[in-house]
Amino acid sequence: MLDFIRSIFEPNRAHDDAGGYSLEYLETTSSPQWPSQPSQARAIVVGIGGCGKNAVQYLHDKLPPAIGLFWLVQEPGQPLSAWRQDTNASSPQLLGHGESVFRQIMSGIETLYLICGLGGSVGSDFSLKLVRLASALSIKTHALVTMPFAFEGTRVTAARKALDQLTEETTTCMVFHNDELRAMLSGQATLEYAFTLHKLWLTHTLLCLQQISEVGLLDGLGQGNRLCMGFGRSDDPNQIERTIEVALKCPLLPHGVLHQANRAFLLLGTATTLPSAAVTQAGISAKAQLASIPVINVQAQRDSRMNGDLYVTCLLIYGAPP
């Protein structure tokens, strides 16, 4: 497993015949040019607390301009403050203080992407308040949350409780574990490099969610779902079946999730348009490898930056564990 994880950090190191995994994959697919069509959906990203603020500041030039970016922070002894970070603005704009600003930032939107670290009072408490208001306004909410390190004691207990509550009240909830970053450090990666992977992973997840949301693939999805993502790369665009297999072995996928998932979305990225027969074959391959999943969707994405490679991202939706 550690060799598998290390290969994420080494762009020139192939894991297997399909081309393996690399940080280069996420750097490529998370660029501001992807997806190729600008977003038309009314969506915003809200970061809460220090973790959420850092994420939004990283994302501000990497997402489609139509997606609004905000963060909520609370300094010791101070009221909660809300900020907006426009894509092309050099500095953020203070919107106001207190929870009354929640309705202002969610006015007229259809989708909320929430980013926060759980375990502290700001991330855990205000994220749930924001999610409940979004639910009352019939806004779909996707939470991307980070869990504390195991050695952080009471923060872990508080984070688990908050995660259970968020999962119940959001459309999907994806969890990033800091302990996974620790495991990656057993290789040659620095802490800074590990957190870079975390931010790239987060960016790519947002872009993929927005893409499948825009084409209606998340319509009808209720609350209480978990989300995870795997990815693979091949230097041969014809190796679709093998690359899908690689994506499904990605260490970022929780153990046993292939037998728990109820929906799968596969995004195929190539420099040239894939023939319809190839997309059909991808669907057949996905159904063969994910036989227990009732709903499987395959989308092809043309992007000249892919050069001669094939990139496969697999998003899996599954029920929250008991």
pLDDT of residue 3: 38
Residue 64 lies in a domain: yes
Domain end point (choices 199, 223, 247): 223
Whether residue 12 is predicted with pLDDT greater than 80 in this model: the reply is: no
CATH number at residue 74: 3.40.50.1440
Q: Which residue has the higher pLDDT, 182 or 95?
A: 95
Q: Please indicate, yes or no, whether residues 103 and 204 belong to a single structural domain of this protein.
A: yes
Q: Are 69 and 56 in contact (CB under 8 A)?
A: yes
Instruction: Name the domain count of the chain.
Output: 2
Angle between helices 2-9 and 191-214 (to 10 degrees): 80
Mean pLDDT for 14-28 is: 47
Give counts: helices (H), strands (E), the chain.
11, 11
Percent of the chain with pLDDT over 90: 34
**DSSP 8-state symbol, 308:** T
Q: Measured between alpha carbons, how far is 203 from 219 in angstroms, rounded to an integer? A: 22
Q: Which range marks the domain in which residue 274 is found?
A: 226-319
- Under the banding of pLDDT at 50, 70 and 90, the label for residue 132 is very high
Residue 19 lies in a domain: no
Q: Please indicate, yes or no, whether residues 148 and 56 belong to a single structural domain of this protein.
A: yes
Place of tokens 């620095």: 190
User: Per the structure block, which two tokens stand in for 190?
Assistant: 């620095």
Mean pLDDT for 191-214 is: 81
C-alpha of 28 from chain center = 15
Whether residue 42 is predicted with pLDDT greater than 50 in this model: the reply is: yes
Q: Are 72 and 52 in contact (CB under 8 A)?
A: yes
Q: Please indicate, yes or no, whether residues 180 and 129 belong to a single structural domain of this protein.
A: yes
Q: Which residues of 166-179 are buried (b: 16+ CB within 10 A; e: fewer)?
A: bbebbbbbbbbbbe
CATH number at residue 257: 3.30.1330.20
Structure confidence by residue, pLDDT tens digits, 275-306: 888 889 899 999 999 999 999 999 888 877 67
Mean pLDDT for 157-186 is: 84
Q: Which residues of 84-123 are buried (b: 16+ CB within 10 A; e: fewer)?
A: bbebeeeebeeeeeeeebbeebbeebebbbbbbbbbbebb
Structure confidence by residue, pLDDT tens digits, 81-121: 999 987 666 688 999 998 889 999 998 899 999 999 998 88
Kindly tell me the burial class for residue 26, based on how many C-beta atoms sit within 10 Å of its own C-beta (0-12, 13-18, 19 or more).
Answer: buried
Tell me the whole-structure pTM to 2 decimals: 0.84
Average pLDDT, the chain: 81
Residue 162 lies in a domain: yes
Residue 69 lies in a domain: yes
Q: Please indicate, yes or no, whether residues 182 and 260 belong to a single structural domain of this protein.
A: no
Angle between helices 154-169 and 127-136 (to 10 degrees): 10
Domain end point (choices 223, 255, 282): 223
Q: Which residue has the higher pLDDT, 94 or 179?
A: 94
Q: Please indicate, yes or no, whether residues 67 and 183 belong to a single structural domain of this protein.
A: yes
Q: Which residue has the higher pLDDT, 74 or 28?
A: 74
